[in-house]
Amino acid sequence: MSTLWLHGLVRQRPGRLLGVTVGIALAVALLASLGSFLVMSKATMTDRATSSVAVDWQVQAAPEASSAAVEKAVGAQPGTVKALPVSFATVDGFSANTGGSQQKTGAGQVIGLPTDYRSTFPASLRTLVGSDAGVLLSQQTAANLRAAVGDTVTILIAGTPVNVTVNGVVDLPQADSFFQKVGAPPQSQPVAPPDNVILLPASVFDKIIGPAVASGNNPVIHQVHAIRSHELPPDPSVAYAQEAGAARNMEVTLAGAGQVGDNLGATLDAARQDSLYAQILFLFLGLPGAVLASLLTVSVARAGATRRRQDQALLRTRGATRKQVLWLAFAEAGTAAGVGATLGLGIAWLLSTTPLGGNTSSPSMTFGWVLGAAALAVLLAGLSIVLPARRDLTDQAITASRMSVRRQDRAPLWARWGLDFLVLAVSGAVFWVTSRSGYTLVLVPEGVPTLSVSYWAFAGPALLWLGCALLTWRLTDLLLRRGTRILTTLARPLAGTLAGPVVATLRRQRRLVAGTVVMLTLAVAFAASTASFNATYRHQAEVDAVLTNGADVAVTESPGAAVGPDQAQKIAEVPGVRAVEPLQHRYAYVGADLQDLYGVRPGTVAKATALQDAYFRGGTTNQLMATLAARPDSILVSEETVKDFQLQPGDQLSLRLQDGRTKAYTNVLFHYAGIVREFPTAPRDSFLVANADYVAQQTGSDAVGAFLVNTGGTNTGAVAAGVSGVVGPTAKVSEIGTSRAAIGSSLTSVDLAGLTRIELGFAGLLAAAASGLLLALGFAERRRTFAIAVALGARPGQLAGFLVAEATVVLVAGITFGAAIGSLLTGMLVKVLTGVFDPPPAAVSVPWGYLAAVAAVVLGLVLVVVAGMMRRLRTVDVTALREL
């Protein structure tokens, strides 16, 4: 009997079964894709975090411990791939006779490296000039001494000079971690790595440096640098727990003989926080789509509720028992769930392994997500088919009583109680709480080495979504019930003299029409909010890269290098360069606080790099740059400095800057003009921005710290190579692509490109289905009414008025409400997820092209549905007339 019933459904009611199946497939595919990208994103974060660390462990031996024993213990630790000894010695300084004069430096560091250090830790050093082995000068030291390959450098150790010959100049990309104080708390770590560094082969260090240092007051520090196995769990949180446990186990094994500087664990610690933010992003952006697809499935099933109820009544009149009818409902639900789940999981699997989904490797779907998606399919089928069937079989008398006109005119209970207004009020209150100053979405409980998410933040957008859906239903129902005159006037161009009957029909069908409007509204809101948030996210990721690098290409001069702004003319001659801006970088004392100071040319700095109004407070970018130009002694300071020193606009601020002629610090007067929050190449903490000409005049030096190069965003790699040839090896040249990779472990680097394409694709499908599919099913359910009208002589043009009027109401109301709700949701998401953006966006980016495409698809599908229905109504549908 079940087989015969299903065969009949497929032949006689294909739209009914197909609609529910398609809805289930969309919900399953979106949920499974969400899980796939969440798993893939976390694995990507772990890979990026582990690959970005040059030295995984720096184990520092205690002064009284045997460095050889520590090295042996580290090498024997499970998970250690290789361990090498490294020696550190603090010396009095360096000197060199170059260019006919003698240059001297202050205290410095001498490092002893084994011969295979470079091959074991290739990312720790980068050769700029000369050999990879032998005596190596750091880039900054070479600039300070004006030394090159072949020059002799004297190392001053406890008054004893030691001469060495330079074999190469290198850069230490991760100098901050390399020169860390192992075991010291964060507040005790060096503010910056040492300015003067020489690296020697271990044999040379042990022969000439070790004995000389031992006679002084600064003993040699022995460390063991280890590379660890990166075969870690894909989840950063789990990987961090495993790695941190291994580091603690190492310290227990050493029993006080050494401390572990766990660079790998520190990087994974940051990645696990980012992974929680990624999880929040996926839930905020993807979960509403899965919920929407589920609601669409239920709505599609409800559109055929009358027909399904009539079929069940016919079965019972022909002798079927309630148990048999319910069993047939189970068979229909099982078929829809099985086919829908299979189709949805297949779509998700294909998307997870294609470039469209942002991945070309093996599938990343896990058993848990597959099981959850399959469970969703079963749940939706049960709610859509089995539950209504059981209710109809149990409450037939109640169902019959609900057919009265009085019951139809009465508003639902939630509407009479004003639940929509209450939900919106609670949403506003929650949003105010979660977006106020000091709120943190990702929590780090004090004293607990774990992270957690404040899921309270989900309540605001979720309640807004629910409240707006209910309010949309209320407004649509109110318009169709009370707006007869307005609708009649609007329908007259479409229906002519039949405008009154058309509006009367809409009024009788207002519950079905209102439901269709709500579904289209939610689909449009989902598409608009998702697209706008993703566009804003991508824009801010690019802004973050520009802030980090400074511009498309940046040239950073070595500290102490006296390079003037005239160098900009030479750089500007490189093919592909559109603009070059010199940027001063000095250090200034604000009271006892040493801060970075950047000297800019206010009139031209914006030509080389992007400046946003959100970077400043107290005026727009143009206004504050104009202030710096009109009043050269003006200065922009950080919010922290304004708060600490209780500054008011126009207040005089005395800073101590180093004079370029005497090298002594001198007082320079400025006037506070505004607040700067972000600035290209500037650190994240306190810094200052001033007029470069005024700084040069007051300090007697126009030395430039960096050059910002604008390439128009194209050929940055080729331009960077050309600029390197102009500035030479003593300056560091970086392009924005490198900065994008460098921030790879930060949140804004989470690659949402694939997920964005999937989400936006599903959003378009849901919007189209919510309009076209529900309209088509609604028209199909009333085909008997239309058939009677055709039999009575209704002309096609008259019937078109009914169809077009309903489609127009659905389209106009759905798109209007959806656009308004999408705008509200986007603003709320951006505000609540402020921690996602660095820096926060000045405005929401709206992808008008995508939104226009979605609107065009929805409109096109509705026209197809109306045209198809008109073709069917040209002849009398005898089958429909014969139906019960």
Give the residue extent of every domain in the chain. Answer: 1-55+232-410, 80-228, 456-549+746-884, 562-729
Check if the beta carbon of residue 166 is closer than 8 Å to that of residue 151. Answer: yes
Q: Of 616, 612, 638, give the one whose Cα is nearest residue 627.
A: 616
Model pLDDT, residue 113: 94
The confidence score (pLDDT) of residue 215 equals 60
Q: Residues 508-533: what's their mean pLDDT?
A: 85
Q: What value does the mean pLDDT take over residues 800-806?
A: 78
**CB atoms near residue 133 (< 10 Å):** 15
pTM of the complete model: 0.72
Nearest to 833, CA basis, from 47, 276, 242: 276
DSSP 633-660: TEEEE-HHHHHHHT--TT-EEEEEEE-T
Which of the four pLDDT bands, split at 50, 70 and 90, describes residue 730? confident
Q: Are 137 and 198 in contact (CB under 8 A)?
A: yes
| Alpha carbon distances (Å) from 68 to 36, 53, 452 | 47, 25, 41
From the number of C-beta atoms within 10 Å of its C-beta (0-12, 13-18, 19+), residue 203 rates as exposed
Question: Is residue 354's pLDDT more than 80?
Answer: no
Between β-strands 108-113 and 616-617, what pairing exists: parallel, antiparallel or unpaired? unpaired
Please give the structure tokens belonging to residue 424: 């919106």
% of the chain at pLDDT higher than 90? 22
Which of the listed ranges 569-578, 591-600, 854-863 does the model predict with the highest average pLDDT? 569-578
Q: Identify the pLDDT of residue 674.
A: 92
Question: Burial of 245 by CB count in 10 Å (0-12 exposed, 13-18 middle, 19+ buried)?
Answer: exposed
pLDDT value for 287 = 77
Q: How far apart are CA 221 and CA 608, in angstroms?
A: 45
Dihedral sign of CA atoms 598, 603, 607, 612 in order: positive
Question: b vs e for 680-709, b when ≥16 Cβ sit within 10 Å of the residue's Cβ?
Answer: bbbeeebbbbbbbbbbbebbebbbbbbbbb
- Measured CA to CA, the distance from residue 345 to residue 825 in angstroms comes to 29
Is the confidence at residue 784, as pLDDT, over 70?
A: no
Between 592 and 87, where is the model more confident? 87
Q: What is the pLDDT of residue 372?
A: 86
pLDDT at residue 331, as a whole number: 81
Tens digits of residue pLDDT in 371-429? 888 888 888 888 887 887 777 777 554 344 344 334 456 778 888 899 999 999 999 88
Tokens of 848: 């008008």
> Is-cis flag, bond preceding 14, omega within 30?
no
Q: Is 703 helix (H, G, I), strand (E, B) or coil?
A: coil
Mean pLDDT, range 179-188, rounded to an integer: 80
- According to DSSP, residue 661 is labeled T
Q: In sequence order, what are the residues at sequence separation of 6 or more whose Cβ sits closer than 8 angstroms to the Cβ of residue 89?
A: 109, 110, 111, 112, 157, 205, 209, 210, 213, 218, 220, 221
Report the SS3 class of residue 107.
coil
CB 739 within 8 A of CB 829: no
What per-residue confidence (pLDDT) applies to 771? 75
pLDDT of 657 > 50? The answer is yes
For 534, 761, 768, 822, the CA distances from 857, given in Å and listed in that order, are: 21, 12, 7, 18
CB 371 within 8 A of CB 55: no
Q: Are 520 and 469 in contact (CB under 8 A)?
A: no
* pLDDT band, very low/low/confident/very high, at 884 (cuts 50, 70, 90): very low
Asked if the model's pLDDT at residue 217 lies above 70, the reply is no
Percent helix, strand, coil in the chain, to 5, is 60, 15, 25
For 130: left if phi > 0, alpha if psi spans -120 to 50, otherwise beta; the answer is left
CA distance to 309, 517, 781, per residue, from 399 (Å): 10, 25, 18
Residue 592 three-state SS: coil
d(CA 552, CA 737): 8
Round the average pLDDT of the chain to a whole number and report it: 81
Residue range 317-330: mean pLDDT, rounded: 76
What pLDDT is recorded for position 446? 44
Tokens representing 643 are 């708060």
Most confident of 235-239, 282-286, 312-316, 384-388: 235-239
Mean pLDDT value of segment 506-528: 84
Longest distance between any two alpha carbons in the chain, whole Å: 115
In this predicted structure, what is the pLDDT of residue 402?
Answer: 41
Query: Which tokens go with 408?
Result: 């139809």
Picking from 735, 737, 670, 697, the residue whose alpha carbon sits closest to that of residue 584 is 697
Give the mean model confidence (pLDDT) for residues 600-623: 89
Confidence of residue 21 (pLDDT cuts 50, 70, 90): confident
Q: In the numeric block, which tokens belong to residue 177?
A: 């971690």
- The average pLDDT across 446-470 equals 73
Residue range 227-269, pLDDT digits in tens: 999 999 988 889 999 999 999 999 999 988 999 999 999 888 8
Taking a C-beta distance cutoff of 8 angstroms, is the pair 163, 103 a contact?
Answer: no
Residues 6 or more apart in contact with residue 592 via CB below 8 angstroms: none
Which range (121-130, 278-287, 516-525) has the least confidence?
278-287
Cα 660 to chain centroid distance, Å, stands at 44
Choice among 574-583, 682-691, 804-813, 873-882 with the minimum mean pLDDT = 873-882
The pLDDT of residue 214 is: 62
Residue 679 is given by DSSP the state -
- From residue 303, give the alpha-carbon distance in Å to each of 264, 384, 394, 512: 57, 10, 21, 7
pLDDT (0 to 100) of residue 755: 62
Q: Which amino acid is at 203?
A: S
CA-based nearest residue to 797, from 866, 860, 876, 881: 866
